[in-house]
Each structure stands twice: as structure tokens, then as C-alpha cells.
Structure 1
Amino acid sequence: MRQRLILHLLLLLLCLPRLSMAQVQPDTTKVSNKRLLVLGSAFGVGYTSLLISLNKAWYSEEERTDFHWFDDNKQWKQVDKAGHFWGAFHQSRAGIDMLRWAGMPEKKAIFYGGLTGILLQTPIEIFDGYQADYGASVGDVVANTVGSAGVVAQELAWQEVRIMPKYSFHTTRYADMRPNVLGSNLGEQALKDYNGQTYWLSVNVGAFLNEESKYPKWLNIAVGYGAQEMVYNDPEANAAAGLDAHRQFYLSPDLNLMHFKGRNKVWNTALYVLSIIKVPAPALEYNRKNGFKLHPLYF
């Protein structure tokens, strides 16, 4: 299955102009038809253009067949599925906040905006379903759905996001073993090398405590997931190459960037966007090959 992090980033970038407006306090007394028209038109034009570009860049020269499904659930130690969850979560998060900005009633904004991740990702799965070399992935669809549901559940339960999915990256030696797939430069590797990608759930501990608690509201605790020694998507191909693909689990402190929001719209938008990234910090790792390992600073 092709690399998808770049697609998630492109779709999030599509949201950025609207996110800067969404930092303005919404008028919850009535729906603004003008704002809804701006959102609908911008997304319609932007997303259609993106799909056309992707179709030309990724699919036009590949062999096509009848629509079919492809089981890739055992590939890449499911790090790619974590990426789907991360992307769909933040797309739906942005969708909810933009509908709030447009003045839509709270529950409608949550339910309709919460579908954003699924709606943005589903056409890509359909495109994949017609490709001879792979196909549409049930695992991807499930990960997208769970990601969107994750933000909806938190908004309904707590009226805010308290458990934030995040992404971090470090370079690895494995990209040099297969640069055409894992990337030949830093930018490509950040998007393609699953060995260097870590996906986190950053928990806003302070939000679960009472107001009198002295726990610092800016300090989150994050649990992370990644994997190593994956040059091929197929586990047997990795083993044949002498690689022992294995999972990695992490525990690390993190910054609750949304705690530092102020009155400046540009500042707040920057914090909103940066909150999808895990801040480098010390981390405790566990994996089955080496047991526990402390990283003084982990990216």
C-alpha cells in the first residue's frame, strides 16, 4: 500500500486558512450561511483539485482493474494504520471547529464535522480499489473511522480534546537500504520511512483533575507506538533479508500546547496546528529485543 502521511498533511493544509478564522469566537446563536458558503466552496474547490492532482500523480500510469479489496493489515507492523488514525482524527477535529466557527449548533457541529476525516479519506480508498498492484484496504477504512470517532467521542464526553494523537519522526539507517520506497532525503523519509515514525496519544492529565489540583496544566503524559527493522512491507520479506521487525512502545512527558493560547489569532492558530506534533523530550522505550531503554531526547 502506498505511503499516506503526505496525503494526511495535504488535507490538513487544506484546512489551515479556515482554521485561522475558526480561532475567532463563534456566534452560537445562529448559523452563518455566509460562513458555511465560504467553507463549502473552499473545501469543494480545494478537495476536488487535490483529487485530480493525486489521480494524475499517483494513479494515471498504473494498471487498473475492477474494484477489489486488499488485505494489508499485517504490513509495516500497523504503523501505517496509526497514521490513518492520526490523520482522520485531526481532519475531523478541524471539521468540527470550522463548523463551530460557522455558528452551527454544538451537537450538529460535532456529528457533521466529525465525519470530515472519513469523507476526505474514502475517495482515496476507492481510487486504490481499482489498482491492480493493491486495492482498497479494510484496515485503512477502520483506522479512518476510529480516528474520526475518537474526536467525536471526546467532544461529546468532555466538550474538548483531552487525549491528542501526535506524530514525531527521526531518521533511521533503513531508508538507505531501500531509498526508492523509504525516501532518499529527509523530507521523503519523514513521509515514507515507517521505521522513524512514532505515533502518540498525549493525555492532558490536568483536565482529569479538579480545579484545586496543583498539577501543572501544561504538562501532558504521552504513550507512543512505533516499529523498527522494516525495509519491506511484507514480514516474510524482512525476515529473508535478515531483519527482525519488532514493535516499540514509549512513555514520555509532553507539552499541552493549547494551554498557552492567548488573544492573538495567529498565535492560537500556530498552537492549534503544532499540537499535532509531539515535542521532543526524554522517553522510556520498551521493545522485545532490547527490553527497556531510556532516551535522553527522543524525536
Structure 2
Amino acid sequence: MRHRIIFYLLPLLLCLPQLSMAQAPVDTSSVNKKRLLVLGSTFTAGYATMLVTLNKAWYTDERTNFHWFNDNHEWKQMDKAGHFWSAFHQSRAGIDMLRWAGLPEKKAVLYGGLTGILLQTPIEIFDGYQADYGASVGDLVANTVGAAAVTAQELAWQEVRIMPKFSFQTTNYARMRPNVLGSNLGERALKDYNGQTYWLSVNVSSFLKEESKYPKWLNIAAGYGAQEMVYNDPEANAAAGLEAYRQYYLSPDLNLMHFKGKSKVWNTALYVLSIIKIPAPALEYNRKDGVKLHPLYF
């Protein structure tokens, strides 16, 4: 599927002012109708505008009848990890913004948890009318699982204890196919799956007793990536001297939300940055090289 990071982060981009205020405790005894109106109108107008823009500017290829396309075997499922990550954080933002609007806790979690699905599904429908590809069941599943993951944590623990994160580093593979993997740094960060790593950062201290001396700021993150992916077709990859393989990582990470303070701007910055994995030492395992240590991994 195509890369649309702007839609992955849409709730954060549209509602930064609301997110800055959502970091402080709010009274959920009654709905704040003014806040709910501001939130709903901002979100609806922004998303509708961007969908119209996307439909006109991005989907300019030949259109056909709606159809499905099975891309589950492509890119070692890195794109599915991206869908999971994006839907999780869209729903996370949706939950927190509904809390800010004063909805009762359970309703904020359940309704806000649908945000990732609501945002991603129309884009998948657009894909279904494209001749060169189509709507992907795998993408829809990944979106649903991502949204469900944050909803389940909020219902079970009233907080996020396992945070999906993203990191990126440049690779030489993009030069081999810049029209697909990106011709500049910004494009490569979005398109070059070889340089992307998706993480699950576990807040270990939240699973321990309150009197535990384990540092509350120290998380442990498990990562997933893949290399040597220039073509989807294994034969085309092999002709270029490449054989795609998976990578698995283990690394310490910072629990950025532990450092919240009184400043709304500071707290919002931490909230947004918490979707990114902080560079740190990492252990990697892959079938080609076995186990190796990265003194600093991005």
C-alpha cells in the first residue's frame, strides 16, 4: 500500500492545542459541550478537507471497480506493522481528546478507540478503486488490531503500558530504486522499509509493585525490521543480488511520559515524541548474521 504518514499522525496534527490541555486532570462528571464541539468541528473539517485533497491529488491513476488486493506477503509485513503503529496512536489521541472533552471514562475509551479504524478505513476504500492495487484485508486487520491494542490497555490498566514506537535510519537500498524507496531523506523515512524499525516499548515498572526500586523511566523495547527489500518479487530481488530477511531487536528505552511536568507545551512535546524510539544500544538477531550488538541503534 502507499505511504501516507500525514494520515497516520492526523489526530496529533489537528488537535495539538487540545492535546496540550488533555494532559491535565479533567472533570469527567459531565460532558463539556463546548470542548466537544471544538474537538468535533476541528477534527471533522480537517479530516474532510484532507480526504478531498487526497482523492484529487494522490489518486490520479486509472480507476476501476472496487476490488481487493492481497499484499500480505509483501515487504516482510513491515507495512502492516506501520498500520498497527498508526492506528494505535490515532486511537490513543482520540481517547485522550474525548477525555479532555469530559466524556465518562469508559465512553471516552470505547469511542476514542475507534478513531484509528475510522481514519484508516476511508483511505483503504480509496485504494480499492485503484487499478494497480486495491483494498487490503491485511491492512484493515492491522488497523483494527492497533486500535484494539490501545483500547484493551486503557480498559484493563487505565493507562498505556506497552507503547508502539518507530525509528528510522538511512540505507543504501533506496538508491537502487529511488522512485519506490524515496529520493530524499523525507521520502526515504516514509518509503524505505529497510530503514524502518517498529518497536513495542514495555513500561516494566508499571507491572511491578509500587515499592519496587526499578527505575520508572526505564522501558525495555522489542523491535522488528527487515533488510534487502528493493522489490516485492523474490526473483527480481535475487536478480539484484538481494535476499530479504527479518531482524529482531532488544533495546532499553525511555518512558518519556514519566518526565511530565506542569508545562502544557512540555507535556504535549513528550506526548508526541513518545511515538518515537529513542536511539540506544541494541541487540539484533537475524538469520544471516546471528546475534550482534549495536552500540547505538536508530
TM tier, smaller: over 0.9
Alignment match, 1:18:
18
Alignment match, 1:225:
224
Q: Give the alignment of 1:63-82 within 5 angstroms.
A: 63-82=62-81
Q: Matched residues, percent identical?
A: 82
RMSD (CA atoms): 1.1
Cα deviation code 1:65-112 (max 9, x no counterpart):
000000000000000100000000000000000000011000000000
Equivalent residues of 2:11, 2:94 under 8 A apart = no
Alignment match, 1:267:
266
Alignment match, 2:39:
39
In structure 1, distance between residues paired with 2:10 and 2:85: 13
Equivalent residues of 1:206, 1:217 under 8 A apart = yes
Quote the offset at 1:159 in angstroms: 0.5
SS in 2 for 1:2: coil
Question: After alignment, is 50-59 or 8-17 more displaced?
Answer: 8-17
In structure 2, distance between residues paired with 1:66 and 1:132: 8
In structure 2, distance between residues paired with 1:4 and 1:83: 10
Alignment match, 1:234:
233
Quote the offset at 1:236 in angstroms: 3.5
In structure 2, distance between residues paired with 1:234 and 1:78: 14
AA of the residue aligned to 2:3: Q
In structure 2, distance between residues paired with 1:185 and 1:211: 47
Q: Which runs of 5+ in 1 are unaligned?
A: none
SS in 1 for 2:277: coil
SS in 2 for 1:285: strand
In structure 2, distance between residues paired with 1:283 and 1:126: 39
Residues matched between the structures, number: 298
Quote the offset at 1:27 in angstroms: 1.4
In structure 2, distance between residues paired with 1:56 and 1:3: 16
Alignment match, 2:28:
28
Quote the offset at 1:293 in angstroms: 0.9
In structure 1, distance between residues paired with 2:43 and 2:201: 29
Alignment match, 1:49:
49
In structure 2, distance between residues paired with 1:6 and 1:230: 24
AA of the residue aligned to 1:236: E
Quote the offset at 1:140 in angstroms: 0.3
TM-score, structure 1 normalization:
0.97
TM-score, structure 2 normalization:
0.98
In structure 2, distance between residues paired with 1:298 and 1:71: 33
Alignment match, 1:196:
195
Quote the offset at 1:53 in angstroms: 1.2
Q: Which runs of 5+ in 2 are unaligned?
A: none
In structure 1, distance between residues paired with 2:223 and 2:5: 17
SS in 2 for 1:85: helix
State yes or no: 1:131 paired with 2:130.
Answer: yes
Question: After alignment, is 15-24 or 125-134 more displaced?
Answer: 15-24
Q: Give the alignment of 1:143-222 within 5 angstroms.
A: 143-222=142-221
